[in-house]
Amino acid sequence: MTDDVYGGTFRVMSKVLNRFGIESTFVDTSNLKNIHSEIRENTKALYLETPTNPLLKITDIEAASSLAKENGLLTIVDNTFSTPYWQNPIELGADIVLHSATKYIGGHSDVVAGLVVVNTEKLAQDLHFVQNSTGGVLGPQDSWLLMRGIKTLGIRMEETEENTAAIVNFLTQHSSVKKVFYPGLENHPNHEIAKKQARGFGGMVSFDVGSGEKADHLLSKIHYFTLAESLGAVESLISVPARMTHASIPAERRAELGITEGLVRISVGLEDVEDLIEDLRKALE
């Protein structure tokens, strides 16, 4: 499994599924050598999150899927950050693709849902059996809300990316920001892979302000960004992963991953980008 996955994914794997004998090994999957070295005789699947949450690392889906197939593994990709509009993992060799449809696909902060897409009829039948047996079926109202959201997915993602590019440009030049994490930056270590496998870089950005105290100061001054753990909505959101989305990960492990107390994550929305930048400028003073 990708190491800096969403905190909820880490929690389910390490504290729930482990009770049923399902083991997981967390590695930096952006380096294929790490994947290869951790495959064991009983390994069944490779789980990727790309871009990752919250450090926006990129894994080469095509290369990782090929390695998985060579070793008889299923490749599962959480595609929530990119959405089908920007990235299509099945076309790159993945077997199963997951989306937290609560986020960009719904897009309006009014539905809780998840989607699974697979590459074969056999996998579809197997998953449908589990779905039918456990009752994991979306209600008609929620389904309608998702259909509504999908209608505007393209235009929302385009506008979000345009806003994000301007905000990233601002953040990279601000003296109070120590580092910006965004695959659209040319100095991002996986920038070329991101360009190769996706049509856009998305609307998620993380940046480090240096300490928890400085992050608190930022949050106390911000106005247009709503403090919330979610993402992918029409409104801009802000969070501190170490104390929110990734609080379930032990502090020592967070430190190893680089999820510092000063790391701030933003989900860029559709507001006027000049308002968003001015809001960040004042909050970073």
For residue 136, pLDDT beyond 90 = no
What does the pLDDT read at residue 248? 85
Q: Is residue 20 very low, low, confident or very high in pLDDT (cuts 50, 70, 90)?
A: very high
Is residue 179 within a helix (H) or strand (E), and if so which, with residue range?
strand 179-181
User: Are both 112 and 168 inside the same structural domain?
Assistant: no
For residue 284, pLDDT beyond 90 = yes
Angle between helices 273-283 and 153-172 (to 10 degrees): 40
With H, G, I as helix, E, B as strand and everything else as coil, classify residue 151: helix
Rounded CA-CA distance 12/38 in Å is: 20
Rounded CA-CA distance 100/79 in Å is: 8
Is residue 155 within a helix (H) or strand (E), and if so which, with residue range?
helix 153-172
User: Are both 129 and 229 inside the same structural domain?
Assistant: no
Rounded CA-CA distance 235/129 in Å is: 37
Give the global pTM.
0.95
For residue 199, pLDDT beyond 90 = yes
> What percent of the chain clears pLDDT 90, i.e. is strictly above it?
96
Rounded CA-CA distance 60/68 in Å is: 12
For the chain, the average pLDDT equals 97
User: Are both 95 and 43 inside the same structural domain?
Assistant: yes
Give the domain extent around 247: 153-284
Which residue type sits at 230?
Answer: S
What does the pLDDT read at residue 122? 98
- Give the CATH number for residue 219: 3.90.1150.10
What does the pLDDT read at residue 72? 98
User: Are both 159 and 272 inside the same structural domain?
Assistant: yes
CA distances from 92 to 66, 75, 141 (A): 9, 10, 33
